[in-house]
Amino acid sequence: MNIKRILVPVDFSDLSTKALTVGEQIAKLYGGTVSPIHVHIPITEMDEPYALGMSSSVYQDFDKIEDNLKKRLTEISGEYLNEKYEGESLIAFGNPAQSIVDVAEDFDLIVMTTHGRTGFSRFLLGSVAEKVLRLAHLPVLVVEDESDVGDFEKILVTTDFSENSAAAFPIAVDIAKKANSKLHLLHILSFEQFDKDETDISIENLRQERVKVVANEYFHEIRENLSYSVETSDDSPHEAILKHVNENDYNLVIMSTVGRTGIRYLMMGSTTTNVVRHVKTAVLSINPKKENE
């Protein structure tokens, strides 16, 4: 994995600038650059020029809008980023999620927050983040205001033993090597997915052996900094992951956006979305389709 170009959506809220500082942490690891992007949604002249102090008479002059937005974005970039890691500031118009995904084709990673401005005419990062997670064909790192990535000292990566979930392993290993992180590999055995007469200890023992095999196969390069476990739960997989994250002090959670299908397995797609919605820890989601290509 070589993360050289990092895209960070910014809506000029304080929270969205948190993603710039996290993006810089990744840029430091990989020697990359961070490019902020603002997507403007033109609606009507009632759409307040909130950040620019422009009059409504010039608000529909898109050239002037773009110039002013880019100036503001460049100023914010200079305020939050070291010049060494500062990339080009970008402006787009239209649907925020689709615009971000389209521009991201030339990037290696998206870093964004899940909540931004509120109000009818604002860049609603919450819904935008979920759409980007679903549509983007590159890794997406989602951060909250409470997220503390530090120097990525402690990382969690989840598995359901599918090839799709394994797509997240290489980047997890790569970050762990570069940051000298402690990495924990977690499998959730959710008895919610089984009939009552199937929930015997043999299932757990089999999963314990399997997670050990996965650890040896995919994570041998960081064996000294690796731990792994199978946790049983009567809750849904995402609830069990949330509980585990809340009980441990992780700087980063890494998950695939797609896993196994079928009622008996951890369905990573919905699980990842639910984890992103509820944890305060930064979550890096990996699209297995892109990784497999």
For 207-227, the pLDDT digits (tens) are 999 999 999 999 999 999 999
pLDDT tens column, 1-54: 789 999 999 988 888 889 999 999 999 999 999 999 999 887 543 444 444 554
Please report whether residue 192 resides in a domain: yes
Please report whether residue 105 resides in a domain: yes
Residues 125 and 11 in one domain: yes
Kind and range of the H or E run holding 90: strand 90-93
Q: Give me the half-sphere count of Cα atoms (radius 13 Å) on the Cβ side of residue 4.
A: 2
pLDDT at 183: 98
Which residue, 291, 286, 1, 26, is CA-closest to 179? Answer: 26
Residues 44 and 87 in one domain: yes
pLDDT at 124: 41
Residues forming beta bridges with residue 10, ordered by sequence position: none
**What is this structure's pTM?**
0.84
Helices within the chain (DSSP H only): 14-30, 62-80, 96-103, 125-135, 163-166, 169-179, 201-218, 237-247, 268-278, 288-292
Convert 19-44 into a string of H (helix), E (strand) and C (coil): HHHHHHHHHHHHCCEEEEEEEECCCC
63, two tokens: 């050239």
Residues 234 and 195 in one domain: yes
Cα separation of 32 and 85, whole Å?
Answer: 6
Please report whether residue 264 resides in a domain: yes
Instruction: Examine the fold and report which residue of 114, 143, 172 is the final residue of a domain before the chain moves on.
Output: 143
Residues 172 and 257 in one domain: yes
Helix axes 125-135, 268-278, angle to 10 degrees: 150
Helices within 224-278 (DSSP H only): 237-247, 268-278
Q: Show pLDDT as tens, one digit a residue, over the chain (293 residues).
A: 789 999 999 988 888 889 999 999 999 999 999 999 999 887 543 444 444 554 444 445 778 888 899 999 999 999 999 999 999 999 998 888 999 999 999 999 999 987 654 433 334 445 788 888 888 889 999 998 889 999 999 999 999 998 889 999 999 999 999 999 999 999 998 876 555 455 566 788 899 999 999 999 999 999 999 999 999 888 888 889 999 999 999 999 999 876 544 333 333 446 777 787 778 899 999 987 655 44
DSSP state letters, 131-169 = HHHHH-SS-EEEE-TT---TT--EEEEE--SSHHHHTTH
Residues 242 and 206 in one domain: yes
Please report whether residue 38 resides in a domain: yes
Residues 104 and 170 in one domain: no
Please report whether residue 148 resides in a domain: no
Q: Domain of residue 106: give its range.
A: 5-143
Please report whether residue 128 resides in a domain: yes
Instruction: Examine the fold and report which residue of 143, 167, 201 is the final residue of a domain before the chain moves on.
Output: 143
Residues 160 and 283 in one domain: yes
Which residue, 12, 22, 85, 2, is CA-closest to 283? Answer: 22
Residues 135 and 84 in one domain: yes
Cα separation of 268 and 253, whole Å?
Answer: 13
- Tell me the C-alpha to C-alpha distance, in Å, between residue 84 and each of 28, 66, 78: 9, 25, 10
Cα separation of 200 and 233, whole Å?
Answer: 13
How many CB atoms sit inside 10 A of residue 155's CB? 25
Helix axes 268-278, 237-247, angle to 10 degrees: 40
Please report whether residue 235 resides in a domain: yes
Residues 10 and 106 in one domain: yes
Cα separation of 265 and 96, whole Å?
Answer: 33
Residues 63 and 113 in one domain: yes
Instruction: Examine the fold and report which residue of 143, 173, 205 is the final residue of a domain before the chain moves on.
Output: 143
Please report whether residue 149 resides in a domain: no
The CATH number given to whatever domain includes residue 112 is 3.40.50.620
Residues 166 and 256 in one domain: yes
Residues 126 and 94 in one domain: yes
Q: For the chain, what is the domain count?
A: 2
pLDDT at 265: 34
